[in-house]
Structure 1
Amino acid sequence: MNSYYDDVSENEFQRLANQYGADFLSVENRGYGYGNNVGITHAVSEYAFQWLVVSNPDTVIEEFSLNGFNPLEKSILAPDIRTLSGKRQNPMIAKRSKLAERLIYLGFKNESRLLLCLGVCANKIIRELFALGCHRENKTVYQPHGSFIVFSLSAIEALYPVFDEGIFLFAEEGLLAWNSAKNGVRVLYCPSIRVVHKQDGSMKFLDDINTQLKDSNIYVYEKILKGENSC
Structure 2
Amino acid sequence: MIKIAIFCVSYNSDKERDAYLASIDTAKRKASDQVHVDVYMADNTIEDNPGYFRAIRRLMQKVEIADYDYSIISNVDLILEEDFFQKLADYEGPEDTGWIAPRIWSELEQRDRNPARLFRPSLRKMKILRAFYQYPILDTIYHHTVYRRKKYYAKTNAGPIYAGHGSLIILTKSYFSKCGIIDYPMFLFCEELYLAENCRKAGLKVVYEPSIKVIDKEHVSIKKMSHRDYCRHNLKAMNYILSIFY
Band of TM-score, shorter chain: 0.7 to 0.9
CA distance in structure 1 between the aligned counterparts of 2:177 and 2:141, rounded to whole angstroms: 35
Matched, 1:84 2:107: yes
Larger displacement relative to structure 2 (80-89 or 215-224): 215-224
- Aligned pair count reads 208
Is the CA contact 2:77–2:220 (under 8 Å) kept in the aligned structure 1? yes
**Structural mapping, 1:206-225, within 5 Å:** 206-208=224-226, 210-225=227-242
Shift of 1:5: 5.6
CA distance in structure 1 between the aligned counterparts of 2:99 and 2:220, rounded to whole angstroms: 24
Output the aligned Cα RMSD. 3.5
Summarize deviations over 1:103-151 as a string: whole Å, max 9, x none: 1112222345289849x87xx65x53xx2xx2222x1111211111111
CA distance in structure 2 between the aligned counterparts of 1:68 and 1:168, rounded to whole angstroms: 34
Shift of 1:163: 4.5
Residue type at the aligned position of 1:219: K
**Secondary structure at the residue paired with 2:61?**
helix
- Segments of 5+ residues of structure 2 without an aligned counterpart are 1-6, 26-36
CA distance in structure 2 between the aligned counterparts of 1:2 and 1:151, rounded to whole angstroms: 13
CA distance in structure 1 between the aligned counterparts of 2:192 and 2:171, rounded to whole angstroms: 13
Which residue of the other structure, out of 151, 162, 165, is the alignment partner of 1:142? 162
Is the CA contact 1:75–1:155 (under 8 Å) kept in the aligned structure 2? yes
Residue type at the aligned position of 2:228: T
| Residue of structure 1 equivalent to 2:51 | 31
Matched, 1:185 2:204: yes
Higher strand share: 2
CA distance in structure 1 between the aligned counterparts of 2:193 and 2:141, rounded to whole angstroms: 16
CA distance in structure 1 between the aligned counterparts of 2:113 and 2:42, rounded to whole angstroms: 29
- Segments of 5+ residues of structure 1 without an aligned counterpart are none
Shift of 1:76: 0.1
Which residue of the other structure, out of 129, 146, 152, is the alignment partner of 2:172? 152
TM-score (norm 2): 0.69
Matched, 1:174 2:193: yes
Matched, 1:93 2:117: yes
Matched, 1:49 2:74: no
User: Structure 1 residue runs of 4+, over 6 Å off?
Assistant: none
Larger displacement relative to structure 2 (74-83 or 104-113): 104-113
| Residue of structure 2 equivalent to 1:75 | 98
- Using the aligned pairs only, state the percent identity: 24
CA separation of 1:106 and 1:197: change in aligned 2, threshold 3 A: same
Is the CA contact 2:189–2:237 (under 8 Å) kept in the aligned structure 1? no
